[in-house]
Amino acid sequence: MVRRLVLGCGRAGETVVGVVSTWGGDLRAVVPDEARAESIEGTATVVHGDPTDPETYPESVDVVLVLGEDGERNLAAARQARESFPDALIVACGGREGPDVVGELGEVADRVVDARALLTDHLLDSVTGENAQRVCRLLHVLRDIDGRLAVVMHDNPDPDAIASGVAMCRLAEATGTDAEACYYGDISHQENRAMVNLLDLDLRTLGPDDDLGQFGGFALVDHARPSINDQLPEELHVDIVVDHHPPRGPVQGRYQDIRTDVGSTSTLLTDHCHRLGVRLDESVATALLYGIQIDTNEFRREASRLDFEAAARLLPYVDEAVLDRIESPSVDGETLDTLSRAIENREVRGSVIVTGVGSISDRDALPQAADKLLTMSGITCTLVYGFIDDTTYVSARARGTDVDLGETLRAAFNQIGSAGGHADMAGAQIPVTQAFGECVDEAERDEAIRDIITDRFFDAWYERPRDSDVVTPPRGSSGLPYDRE
């Protein structure tokens, strides 16, 4: 239940109180003007008194609305409210005063609005029901972090994870909490490296020897469980989780925002920044928009209304020239070599290509090769595999087919490894020794891998039920980072 406190009440405030009273929860209004107090009786618990007097306040509140018409008095009320309720979300009206008062209000309140805009959907939506509770809980946890917050992305982060990480840091810093965007592994995909370098994003690479005790709290973005897609210890206490994938197991965290009906975690971070009035600079806005574009495949895959709204909010602040450079980076020689081997070794059955590229050092070359092969005439599905040390990595793509690719890879490879993904984009990881046994030499190993992967995939592909016969699994249900698929 959300507890709201209204301090002061001008003409616009009177209408706002009437609307807010329909949302449920506790609503108290402290109003200095007796006539105004009488006019809102019945819609709230009304106290006729001074909005700057803490004696008129309840013991605790989640949201404070400062709605008087006098800017100086609103400033005094907001300051007292912040002192009395340090964890509350404070939305204040600037009144009739000039920019000086508005600027001072901005140092105290979480949101400062113009009196003429108080009744717009933008304000109302920020303090309603579930949204208000979500924002209040996040603010409370961020302000409660004692020390530096580690915002941890999944291993080898993709654009959605990277953008979400830096945006969460901005949110934390806006509440006075120092934060650092961290990840394990490498950023090897050309577009991902270009994103970090061109936007000059401040990221920290963690290693197994790093002392996690240096951090006062932990936030996970674009994944939900420590030790799953990251190298954090399983027993780690997590403070914040923000993700758009359905978790495959229990999630622990003082604050959790897991919304599987949106296409990217960047969308959720954009939503939080919007509701809390956190201004994003060009680099973060550009990163968030790119994260949304990648995870929704340019809004063609699993995009929701909130994804489009987030993109619209970000677009005015995006550096479009830099975004173009991120989307068209230079391609390194190894990626071209991998693509060449994928074309040379391809096996085609009907409209499906399966191909192996042998040993690789950059696993990001596999999804790029799978994407390129999918542009071939008459091809509707591609699967490319290669191996690093004792692990075989698989990346698959599909278009214009009624077979769910993620389900197909799970059926083909879950017994010998781990697999999953979307209907049109999926991946798998298979331990070589465990799945294929000991091989005498490299040629024997390559042949064993080719036979098992090819046979298992084609058997699963042609035996999978069509979409008309099955219920499509939840979006993003693989738990695998999308740039790994």
Q: What is the dihedral of CA 224, 225, 230, 235, to 10 degrees?
A: 150
CA distance 239 to 253: 5
The answer on pLDDT for 330 being more than 50 is: yes
CA 80 to chain centre: 34
pLDDT in tens, 125-136: 555 556 667 777
Contact at 8 Å (CB) between 202 and 208? Answer: no
- Count CB-CB contacts under 10 A for residue 236: 16
Q: Which of these ranges, 62-66, 175-179, 470-474, has the smallest mean pLDDT?
A: 470-474
The whole-chain average pLDDT of the chain stands at 84
Beta pairing class for 203-206 and 352-359: unpaired
pLDDT of residue 222: 95
Higher-pLDDT residue of 127, 162: 162
Beta pairing class for 89-93 and 352-359: unpaired
* Confidence at 24, pLDDT banded by 50, 70, 90: low
pLDDT of residue 69: 82
pLDDT of residue 316: 86
Higher-pLDDT residue of 284, 440: 284
Label each residue of the chain as H, E or C: CCEEEEECCCHHHHHHHHHHHHHCCEEEEEECCHHHHHHHECCEEEEECCCCCHHHCCCCCCEEEECCCCHHHHHHHHHHHHHHCCCCEEEEECCCCCHHHHHHHHHHCCEEECHHHCCCHHHHHHCCHHHHHHHHHHHHHHHHCCCCEEEECCCCCCHHHHHHHHHHHHHHHHCCCCEEEEEECCCCCHHHHHHHHHCCCCEEEECCCCCHHHCCEEEEECCCCCCCCCCCCCCCCCCEEEECCCCCCCCCCCEEEECCCCCCHHHHHHHHHHHCCCCCCHHHHHHHHHHHHHHCCCCCCCCCHHHHHHHHHHHHHCCHHHHHHHHCCCCCHHHHHHHHHHHHCCEEECCEEEEEEEECCCCCHHHHHHHHHCCCCCCCEEEEEEEECCEEEEEEEECCCCCCHHHHHHHHHCCCCEEEECCCEEEEEEEHHHHHCCCCCHHHHHHHHHHHHHHHHHHHHHHCCCHHHCCCCCCCCCCCCHHHC
pLDDT of residue 3: 85
- The answer to whether the Cα torsion of 365, 367, 372, 378 is positive or negative is positive
pLDDT of residue 446: 78
* Confidence at 474, pLDDT banded by 50, 70, 90: very low
pLDDT of residue 23: 61
CA distance 268 to 306: 8
377, burial (CB in 10 Å: exposed 0-12, middle 13-18, buried 19+): exposed
Beta pairing class for 381-388 and 391-398: antiparallel
| Residue given tokens 């409209």 in the structure block | 351
pLDDT in tens, 182-218: 999 888 777 888 899 999 999 999 998 999 999 999 9
Contact at 8 Å (CB) between 143 and 175? Answer: yes
Over range 156-175, report the average pLDDT.
Answer: 93
The residues, ordered by sequence, that sit 6+ positions from 176 with a Cβ below 8 Å of its Cβ are 143
pLDDT in tens, 243-258: 998 887 889 899 999 9
* Confidence at 308, pLDDT banded by 50, 70, 90: very high
* CA-to-CA separations, 11 to 14, 52, 95, in angstroms, rounded: 5, 19, 11
CA distance 65 to 43: 15
Over range 164-189, report the average pLDDT.
Answer: 91
pLDDT of residue 409: 93
* Confidence at 381, pLDDT banded by 50, 70, 90: very high
- Packing angle, helices 282-295 and 320-327, rounded to 10: 40
Over range 423-452, report the average pLDDT.
Answer: 76
Q: How is residue 90 written in tokens?
A: 């404070």
Domains of the chain (ranges; CATH) run 3-127 (3.40.50.720), 145-327 (3.90.1640.10), 333-484 (3.10.310.30)
pLDDT of residue 277: 72
pLDDT of residue 98: 57
| Residue given tokens 């709605």 in the structure block | 67
User: Which of 34, 25, 21, 22 has the alpha carbon at shortest distance from 9?
Assistant: 34
The answer on pLDDT for 122 being more than 80 is: no
User: Which of 306, 285, 256 has the alpha carbon at shortest distance from 167?
Assistant: 285
* Confidence at 1, pLDDT banded by 50, 70, 90: low
- For residue 181, the cross-strand partners are 151, 203
Q: CA angle at residue 216 from 212 to 217, to 5 degrees?
A: 85
Over range 333-341, report the average pLDDT.
Answer: 86
- Count CB-CB contacts under 10 A for residue 332: 14
Higher-pLDDT residue of 43, 205: 205
pLDDT of residue 182: 97
Q: Which of these ranges, 8-17, 227-236, 250-259, 307-316, has the smallest mean pLDDT?
A: 8-17
